[in-house]
Amino acid sequence: DTAVSQTPKYLVTQMGNDKSIKCEQNLGHDTMYWYKQDSKKFLKIMFSYNNKELIINETVPNRFSPKSPDKAHLNLHINSLELGDSAVYFCASSGHHYGYTFGSGTRLTVV
């Protein structure tokens, strides 16, 4: 059973399109995150939700909108995709004792 699962694993799309990435965790964690890994492998937090409430919103364009329907799910919707959005997006969750578990990533390529 995958603890943090993301779909899709790969996403290739044209500039200007709107796309979504889904994330689900079955660990019972209260907090979920989206991280972006750029072409230089640098990882940076984008958003964090705790029990469906947005608690971290780093400097991210408004075209990115996270949604958490319940504490086990955190989806990322991206409007009007740009070339610079190409990256690997990781979902993660954390619970007590500060354990963070990452998903396997979604490689987004904008052409």
Q: Which residues bind other proteins (CB under 8 A)?
A: 29-31, 33, 35, 40-45, 48, 50, 55-56, 90, 92, 94-105
Backbone angles phi, psi at 98, to 5 degrees: 55, 40
- Least separation in angstroms between residue 46's CB and other proteins is 10
Name the residue nearer to other proteins (CB basis): 18 or 58: 58
CB of 69 to other proteins, least distance (A): 18
- Closest contact distance (angstroms) between CB of 16 and other proteins is 27
Of 30 and 60, nearer to other proteins (C-beta) is 30
Closest CB to other proteins among 4 and 78?
Answer: 4
Rounded to a whole number of angstroms, the distance between the first and last alpha carbons of the chain is 34
DSSP string, the chain: --SEEEE-SEEEE-TT--EEEEEEE-S--SEEEEEEE-TT--EEEEEEEETTEEEEE-S--TTEEEEEEETTEEEEEE-S--GGG-EEEEEEEE-GGG-EEE---EEEEE-
Is the Cβ of residue 12 or residue 43 nearer to other proteins in the bound state?
43
Q: Residue 1 Cβ, how far from other proteins at the closest point, in Å?
A: 16
